[in-house]
């Protein structure tokens, strides 16, 4: 069923971050639908459900209870059904280790959570407007971390 909105999912255990995230999309006035999950297990339960609609973009926090972002990423990439989802890592840290690991595991882009709401809005609008097909073809370690 084709719809005219962009389906976005955020998996993050931090309520403040969820608030910023949803607020940003509210203000961005892009036709989006945002679903949020509080941990990796909730997310995977949703994605594994045949009834669920797969998101266009999945924002994945790395540090989550029950199931970490890395574990979720591995499961998603291993599943045929979910492999098409564009995955944006959405994390406080931008350590070399995390960036390297998620890149190797097949994430599409890496976003470091900014400390400024305007910047957040800009980053998010950038991400949802990416042509994933095109982006993925030219993806390398240098443009993996999104910077403005």
Partner 1 sequence: MKRNNLFKSTSFLRVVLLLSLFVILLIGGFTYRHISNLTNSEEIVVKTYNVNLELEHIVSYLRDAESAHRNYIVTKDRFYVNTYLNAKEKVNRAFLKLEDLVGLNSNQQKNLTVLNKLTDSLYNNFSKTNAFVTDNTTNTETFKTLFFEEKIIMDSIRRQSNAMFDLENKLLNEKQNEYQSDLRFTPLFFYLVLLATLVLIIMAYNKISNDLKKIKAKNDQLLIFEESTNQSEIIGKHGNWVWHIDSNKFIYSDNLYRLLGEEPQSFEANFDNFLKFVHPEDVDKLAEDLDNMIDAEELPFVNYRIVQKNGSIKHLKAYAKSFYSADGQKRLLGNTSDITDEIESFLELEERNLELERNNKELSAFNYAASHDLQEPLRKIQTFISRLEEKESDKFSDPGHQYLDRIKSASARMRLLIDDLLQFSRTNKPDKEFVSADLNELFENAKQDIVEIILEKKAQITSDTLPRAKVIVFQMQQLFLNLLSNSLKYCKKETVPIIEINYSKVKANDDPLLSKAPKSFYHKITFSDNGIGFDQKYAGKIFDLFNRLHNKQEYSGTGIGLSICKKIIDNHQGFIFAKGEINIGSVFTVYLPE
- Among residue numbers 76 through 95, which ones bind partner 1 (CB under 8 A)? 92-93, 95
Query: Where in the chain does DSSP place strands (E)?
Result: 6-11, 32-37, 57-60, 86-91, 109-112
Binding residue (CB under 8 A) for partner 1 from 9, 20, 62, 76: 20
Here's the x/- map for partner 1, 22-41, by CB under 8 A: it reads as -x------------------
Q: Is 143 in the site for partner 1 (CB under 8 A)?
A: no
Q: Is 116 in the site for partner 1 (CB under 8 A)?
A: yes
CA distance 143 to 129: 16
User: Shortest approach of partner 1 to residue 5 CB, angstroms?
Assistant: 25
Max alpha carbon distance in the chain (Å)? Answer: 40
Residues 6+ apart with CB under 8 A from 71: 40
Q: Is 17 in a helix, a strand, or coil?
A: helix
Provide the binding-site residues for partner 1, judged by CB under 8 A: 14, 16-17, 20, 23, 92-93, 95-96, 113-118, 120
């Amino acid at each position: 069923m084709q719809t005219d909105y962009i389906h976005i999912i955020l998996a993050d255990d931090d309520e403040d971050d969820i608030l910023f995230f949803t607020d940003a999309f509210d203000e961005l006035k892009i036709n989006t639908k945002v679903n949020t999950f509080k941990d990796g297990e909730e997310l995977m339960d949703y994605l594994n459900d045949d009834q669920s609609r797969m998101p266009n973009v999945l924002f994945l926090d790395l540090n989550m209870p029950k199931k970490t972002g890395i574990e979720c990423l591995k499961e998603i990439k291993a599943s045929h059904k979910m492999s098409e989802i564009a995955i944006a890592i959405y994390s406080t840290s931008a350590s070399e280790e995390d960036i390297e690991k998620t890149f190797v595991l097949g994430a599409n882009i890496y976003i470091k959570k900014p400390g400024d709401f305007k910047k957040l809005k800009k980053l998010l609008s950038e991400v949802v407007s990416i042509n994933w097909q095109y982006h993925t073809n030219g993806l390398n370690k240098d443009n993996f971390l999104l910077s403005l």
